[in-house]
Chain A
Amino acid sequence: DTEVTQTPKHLVMGMTNKKSLKCEQHMGHRAMYWYKQKAKKPPELMFVYSYEKLSINESVPSRFSPECPNSSLLNLHLHALQPEDSALYLCASSLGRTNEAFFGQGTRLTVV
């Protein structure tokens, strides 16, 4: 299994909603990442988890809350988002810091 699975694929949410994005991998990777990608722009790093511990938070607003319940699962909890948060949210994983990265298909989020 060389897949990173993200759910849902699409999400529309209101500014007062609470929702969660989910990312799962069963490759034994110990590093997992959340990236945000706006249209026609490269992905921007949001969070890095290493061995289930948050190691990087790239000054992301607190309305985004990551969680790594176990080594296979990474969540991104969303609350009180703004329309400008609409983007493609990509999850990735790698065996370690110098290994190949595997990406999920992304969740396309629209905040209305």
Chain B
Amino acid sequence: GQQLNQSPQSMFIQEGEDVSMNCTSSSIFNTWLWYKQDPGEGPVLLIALYKAGELTSNGRLTAQFGITRKDSFLNISASIPSDVGIYFCAGRVNAGNMLTFGGGTRLMVKP
């Protein structure tokens, strides 16, 4: 079963609001990734984090790799309707290894 606890499970926000979601694990990961999945599609990589403490931005998205290597968060600023979708965190122990995914955060944005 999955080892990553992702919260919240869903969010319904007003357009323009900021969003924050996080992921925690009972074990250490050496890479943390954030993906977005739209209906009928596979996950698409948003941000990749490779070092503990790393803070990385991609446009309106910002993610951090926790110091303990057991957690990560994703922030979305000034949300827009096209941000709607399911966001997944994923951790990887070693290069080439499988990804372990969280349960996802479903984001809904009201215009």
Q: Real complex partners, A and B?
A: no
Q: Which residues of B contact A (CB under 8 A)?
A: none
Residues of chain A whose beta carbon lies under 8 Å from any beta carbon of chain B: none
